[in-house]
Structure 1
Amino acid sequence: MANGGNTDLLQSVLFRELFEELAGARIPDTVFEPVPQPPMVEIKPFVGVYKRQGVVMTVTERNGMLHLLYEIFEGRQAPSPPMEIALSPVSETVFAGASIGQDWIPVVFSTLTDGSVYCYIGMRAAPKIVLSGKSAL
Protein backbone atom coordinates (compact mmCIF):
# COMPACT_ATOMS: atom_id res chain seq x y z
CA MET A 1 0.00 0.00 0.00
CA ALA A 2 1.13 3.51 -0.75
CA ASN A 3 -0.61 6.69 0.27
CA GLY A 4 1.75 9.47 -0.69
CA GLY A 5 4.37 10.59 -3.13
CA ASN A 6 4.21 9.40 -6.72
CA THR A 7 1.98 6.38 -6.10
CA ASP A 8 0.78 6.29 -9.72
CA LEU A 9 4.33 5.59 -10.92
CA LEU A 10 4.84 2.91 -8.26
CA GLN A 11 1.53 1.24 -9.14
CA SER A 12 2.32 1.42 -12.85
CA VAL A 13 5.68 -0.31 -12.40
CA LEU A 14 4.26 -3.00 -10.10
CA PHE A 15 1.14 -3.67 -12.19
CA ARG A 16 3.21 -3.83 -15.38
CA GLU A 17 5.47 -6.52 -13.87
CA LEU A 18 2.65 -8.46 -12.21
CA PHE A 19 0.33 -8.48 -15.24
CA GLU A 20 3.14 -9.63 -17.51
CA GLU A 21 4.42 -12.34 -15.13
CA LEU A 22 1.05 -13.68 -13.91
CA ALA A 23 -1.22 -13.17 -16.91
CA GLY A 24 1.14 -12.75 -19.84
CA ALA A 25 -0.47 -9.36 -20.52
CA ARG A 26 1.69 -6.43 -21.55
CA ILE A 27 0.63 -2.91 -20.66
CA PRO A 28 1.56 -0.44 -23.43
CA ASP A 29 4.40 1.96 -22.69
CA THR A 30 2.25 5.06 -22.98
CA VAL A 31 1.84 8.03 -20.73
CA PHE A 32 -1.67 9.25 -20.02
CA GLU A 33 -2.11 12.79 -21.31
CA PRO A 34 -4.59 14.95 -23.22
CA VAL A 35 -5.22 14.04 -26.84
CA PRO A 36 -4.05 16.48 -29.56
CA GLN A 37 -7.61 16.96 -30.88
CA PRO A 38 -10.01 16.72 -27.90
CA PRO A 39 -13.47 15.44 -28.84
CA MET A 40 -16.55 17.62 -28.48
CA VAL A 41 -18.29 16.47 -25.30
CA GLU A 42 -21.52 17.48 -23.57
CA ILE A 43 -20.06 18.53 -20.20
CA LYS A 44 -23.13 19.89 -18.37
CA PRO A 45 -24.15 16.46 -16.97
CA PHE A 46 -20.82 16.27 -15.10
CA VAL A 47 -21.11 19.68 -13.39
CA GLY A 48 -21.86 19.33 -9.69
CA VAL A 49 -20.48 18.35 -6.32
CA TYR A 50 -19.07 14.87 -5.66
CA LYS A 51 -18.30 13.71 -2.13
CA ARG A 52 -16.63 10.73 -0.52
CA GLN A 53 -15.05 10.18 2.89
CA GLY A 54 -12.83 13.19 3.55
CA VAL A 55 -12.96 14.63 0.02
CA VAL A 56 -15.23 17.05 -1.83
CA MET A 57 -14.80 17.56 -5.57
CA THR A 58 -16.61 20.50 -7.12
CA VAL A 59 -16.85 20.33 -10.91
CA THR A 60 -17.72 23.57 -12.68
CA GLU A 61 -17.86 24.79 -16.27
CA ARG A 62 -15.73 27.76 -17.32
CA ASN A 63 -15.54 28.93 -20.92
CA GLY A 64 -16.74 25.58 -22.23
CA MET A 65 -14.27 23.50 -20.19
CA LEU A 66 -14.64 21.50 -17.00
CA HIS A 67 -12.69 22.53 -13.91
CA LEU A 68 -12.40 20.47 -10.76
CA LEU A 69 -11.67 21.78 -7.26
CA TYR A 70 -10.36 18.89 -5.10
CA GLU A 71 -10.60 19.58 -1.37
CA ILE A 72 -9.66 17.38 1.57
CA PHE A 73 -11.85 18.38 4.51
CA GLU A 74 -11.33 15.85 7.29
CA GLY A 75 -9.06 13.12 8.50
CA ARG A 76 -5.86 15.17 8.58
CA GLN A 77 -4.62 17.61 11.17
CA ALA A 78 -3.25 19.85 8.43
CA PRO A 79 -5.15 19.13 5.20
CA SER A 80 -3.46 19.78 1.88
CA PRO A 81 -4.47 23.00 0.16
CA PRO A 82 -7.25 22.60 -2.43
CA MET A 83 -6.12 21.59 -5.91
CA GLU A 84 -7.58 23.25 -9.00
CA ILE A 85 -7.56 20.96 -12.01
CA ALA A 86 -8.54 21.88 -15.58
CA LEU A 87 -10.04 18.88 -17.40
CA SER A 88 -9.46 18.15 -21.08
CA PRO A 89 -11.72 15.54 -22.74
CA VAL A 90 -10.09 12.35 -23.97
CA SER A 91 -13.41 10.60 -24.67
CA GLU A 92 -17.08 11.20 -23.81
CA THR A 93 -16.52 10.29 -20.15
CA VAL A 94 -12.74 10.36 -19.63
CA PHE A 95 -10.86 13.60 -19.05
CA ALA A 96 -7.17 14.36 -18.56
CA GLY A 97 -6.50 16.51 -15.54
CA ALA A 98 -3.40 17.92 -13.88
CA SER A 99 -2.76 20.50 -11.25
CA ILE A 100 0.37 22.64 -11.35
CA GLY A 101 3.52 20.53 -11.22
CA GLN A 102 1.66 17.19 -11.35
CA ASP A 103 1.45 14.43 -13.97
CA TRP A 104 -1.73 13.98 -16.01
CA ILE A 105 -4.28 11.68 -14.43
CA PRO A 106 -7.52 10.23 -15.79
CA VAL A 107 -10.72 11.66 -14.34
CA VAL A 108 -13.62 9.39 -15.28
CA PHE A 109 -17.34 10.11 -15.02
CA SER A 110 -19.79 7.21 -15.00
CA THR A 111 -23.55 6.92 -14.78
CA LEU A 112 -24.87 3.78 -13.10
CA THR A 113 -28.04 1.98 -14.19
CA ASP A 114 -29.97 3.71 -11.36
CA GLY A 115 -29.00 7.11 -12.84
CA SER A 116 -26.47 8.06 -10.15
CA VAL A 117 -23.34 9.78 -11.43
CA TYR A 118 -19.85 9.09 -10.07
CA CYS A 119 -16.46 10.73 -10.54
CA TYR A 120 -13.41 8.44 -10.36
CA ILE A 121 -9.95 9.80 -9.58
CA GLY A 122 -7.02 7.62 -8.56
CA MET A 123 -9.19 4.49 -8.40
CA ARG A 124 -11.51 6.13 -5.85
CA ALA A 125 -15.14 6.87 -6.64
CA ALA A 126 -17.24 9.75 -5.35
CA PRO A 127 -20.98 10.02 -5.97
CA LYS A 128 -22.52 13.23 -7.23
CA ILE A 129 -24.44 14.78 -4.35
CA VAL A 130 -25.72 18.02 -5.88
CA LEU A 131 -27.84 18.20 -9.03
CA SER A 132 -28.77 21.68 -10.26
CA GLY A 133 -28.54 23.16 -6.77
CA LYS A 134 -30.53 20.31 -5.11
CA SER A 135 -29.17 17.45 -3.06
CA ALA A 136 -29.17 14.08 -4.82
CA LEU A 137 -29.26 12.20 -1.52
Structure 2
Amino acid sequence: MSARSADYRSAIDELDAEMTWAFAAIPSERRALVTNHHVFGYLADRFDFEVVGAVIPGGTTLAAPSASDLADLVAAVERTGVPAIFAESSSPDRLVRALAEEADIHVEVVELFTESLTDAEGGAPDYLTMMRINTERIFTGLSR
Protein backbone atom coordinates (compact mmCIF):
# COMPACT_ATOMS: atom_id res chain seq x y z
CA MET A 1 0.00 0.00 0.00
CA SER A 2 1.38 3.41 -0.93
CA ALA A 3 1.85 6.14 1.66
CA ARG A 4 -0.99 8.17 0.07
CA SER A 5 -3.33 5.18 0.26
CA ALA A 6 -2.39 4.56 3.89
CA ASP A 7 -2.96 8.25 4.73
CA TYR A 8 -6.38 8.22 3.07
CA ARG A 9 -7.33 4.98 4.83
CA SER A 10 -6.36 6.63 8.12
CA ALA A 11 -8.51 9.66 7.24
CA ILE A 12 -11.48 7.36 6.49
CA ASP A 13 -11.01 5.58 9.83
CA GLU A 14 -10.89 8.96 11.61
CA LEU A 15 -14.07 10.04 9.81
CA ASP A 16 -15.81 6.81 10.84
CA ALA A 17 -14.84 7.42 14.48
CA GLU A 18 -16.17 11.01 14.32
CA MET A 19 -19.45 9.85 12.80
CA THR A 20 -19.81 7.05 15.34
CA TRP A 21 -19.25 9.48 18.21
CA ALA A 22 -21.65 12.13 16.83
CA PHE A 23 -24.46 9.71 16.03
CA ALA A 24 -24.13 7.88 19.36
CA ALA A 25 -24.92 11.20 21.06
CA ILE A 26 -28.36 11.35 19.39
CA PRO A 27 -30.99 9.92 21.77
CA SER A 28 -32.38 6.59 20.56
CA GLU A 29 -35.93 7.96 20.25
CA ARG A 30 -34.64 10.57 17.78
CA ARG A 31 -32.61 8.21 15.58
CA ALA A 32 -35.14 8.27 12.75
CA LEU A 33 -34.58 9.42 9.16
CA VAL A 34 -37.04 10.79 6.63
CA THR A 35 -35.46 11.71 3.29
CA ASN A 36 -36.31 12.47 -0.35
CA HIS A 37 -35.70 8.87 -1.35
CA HIS A 38 -33.93 5.82 0.05
CA VAL A 39 -30.28 6.82 -0.29
CA PHE A 40 -29.31 6.62 3.38
CA GLY A 41 -30.01 2.94 3.95
CA TYR A 42 -26.35 2.05 4.33
CA LEU A 43 -25.80 4.92 6.76
CA ALA A 44 -28.89 3.87 8.72
CA ASP A 45 -27.66 0.27 8.93
CA ARG A 46 -24.12 1.24 9.89
CA PHE A 47 -25.09 3.78 12.58
CA ASP A 48 -28.34 2.24 13.88
CA PHE A 49 -30.95 4.66 12.55
CA GLU A 50 -34.54 3.78 11.70
CA VAL A 51 -35.59 4.84 8.21
CA VAL A 52 -39.11 6.11 8.86
CA GLY A 53 -39.77 6.73 5.20
CA ALA A 54 -38.98 8.52 2.01
CA VAL A 55 -40.97 11.12 0.14
CA ILE A 56 -40.24 9.44 -3.18
CA PRO A 57 -40.95 5.72 -2.89
CA GLY A 58 -38.68 3.08 -4.34
CA GLY A 59 -35.10 3.36 -5.47
CA THR A 60 -35.54 5.95 -8.19
CA THR A 61 -36.20 9.68 -8.24
CA LEU A 62 -38.43 9.07 -11.27
CA ALA A 63 -41.13 7.50 -9.09
CA ALA A 64 -43.95 9.74 -7.96
CA PRO A 65 -45.55 9.37 -4.55
CA SER A 66 -49.28 8.94 -4.42
CA ALA A 67 -51.50 11.02 -2.15
CA SER A 68 -51.83 7.90 0.01
CA ASP A 69 -48.02 7.50 0.21
CA LEU A 70 -47.64 11.10 1.37
CA ALA A 71 -50.49 10.79 3.88
CA ASP A 72 -48.86 7.66 5.32
CA LEU A 73 -45.53 9.45 5.56
CA VAL A 74 -47.09 12.49 7.25
CA ALA A 75 -48.68 10.11 9.78
CA ALA A 76 -45.29 8.45 10.38
CA VAL A 77 -43.61 11.83 10.86
CA GLU A 78 -46.28 12.87 13.35
CA ARG A 79 -46.16 9.51 15.16
CA THR A 80 -42.37 9.48 15.53
CA GLY A 81 -42.03 13.22 16.09
CA VAL A 82 -38.97 13.49 13.86
CA PRO A 83 -37.69 17.07 14.12
CA ALA A 84 -36.12 17.13 10.65
CA ILE A 85 -36.67 15.81 7.16
CA PHE A 86 -33.54 15.53 5.06
CA ALA A 87 -33.65 16.77 1.48
CA GLU A 88 -30.85 15.95 -0.92
CA SER A 89 -28.94 18.77 -2.53
CA SER A 90 -29.18 17.03 -5.91
CA SER A 91 -32.99 16.72 -5.91
CA PRO A 92 -35.76 19.31 -5.84
CA ASP A 93 -37.16 19.62 -2.31
CA ARG A 94 -40.68 20.76 -3.28
CA LEU A 95 -42.33 17.55 -2.02
CA VAL A 96 -40.23 17.50 1.15
CA ARG A 97 -41.28 21.03 2.00
CA ALA A 98 -44.94 20.19 1.30
CA LEU A 99 -44.65 17.16 3.59
CA ALA A 100 -43.11 19.27 6.36
CA GLU A 101 -45.92 21.82 6.05
CA GLU A 102 -48.56 19.07 6.12
CA ALA A 103 -47.28 17.50 9.35
CA ASP A 104 -49.05 18.65 12.49
CA ILE A 105 -45.71 19.24 14.22
CA HIS A 106 -42.80 21.58 13.52
CA VAL A 107 -40.43 19.81 11.14
CA GLU A 108 -37.33 21.46 9.72
CA VAL A 109 -36.13 20.64 6.21
CA VAL A 110 -32.35 20.09 6.22
CA GLU A 111 -30.30 19.78 3.03
CA LEU A 112 -27.73 16.97 2.76
CA PHE A 113 -25.16 16.39 0.05
CA THR A 114 -25.67 13.20 -1.94
CA GLU A 115 -24.88 11.68 -5.30
CA SER A 116 -22.21 14.25 -6.26
CA LEU A 117 -19.65 16.60 -4.83
CA THR A 118 -19.65 20.36 -5.24
CA ASP A 119 -16.97 22.59 -6.70
CA ALA A 120 -14.14 23.79 -4.45
CA GLU A 121 -16.24 26.67 -3.06
CA GLY A 122 -19.29 24.52 -2.35
CA GLY A 123 -20.12 22.67 0.84
CA ALA A 124 -18.90 19.28 -0.35
CA PRO A 125 -15.70 19.63 -2.39
CA ASP A 126 -14.49 16.14 -1.41
CA TYR A 127 -15.87 12.97 0.15
CA LEU A 128 -14.48 13.53 3.65
CA THR A 129 -15.86 17.07 3.84
CA MET A 130 -19.23 15.96 2.44
CA MET A 131 -19.58 13.26 5.08
CA ARG A 132 -18.54 15.60 7.89
CA ILE A 133 -21.06 18.24 6.78
CA ASN A 134 -23.84 15.62 6.46
CA THR A 135 -22.96 14.19 9.89
CA GLU A 136 -23.12 17.64 11.46
CA ARG A 137 -26.45 18.39 9.78
CA ILE A 138 -28.01 15.06 10.74
CA PHE A 139 -26.76 15.42 14.32
CA THR A 140 -28.07 18.98 14.62
CA GLY A 141 -31.35 18.21 12.86
CA LEU A 142 -32.16 15.21 15.08
CA SER A 143 -30.84 16.64 18.36
CA ARG A 144 -33.23 19.60 18.57
Query: Which structure ranks higher in relative contact order (CA pairs < 8 Å, sequence separation ≥ 6)?
Result: 2
| Shorter-chain TM-score range | under 0.3
Q: Relative to total residues, which structure has the larger strand share, 1 or 2? A: 1
Q: Under a length normalisation based on structure 1, what TM-score does the superposition of the two structures give?
A: 0.23
| Higher helix proportion (structure 1 or 2) | 2
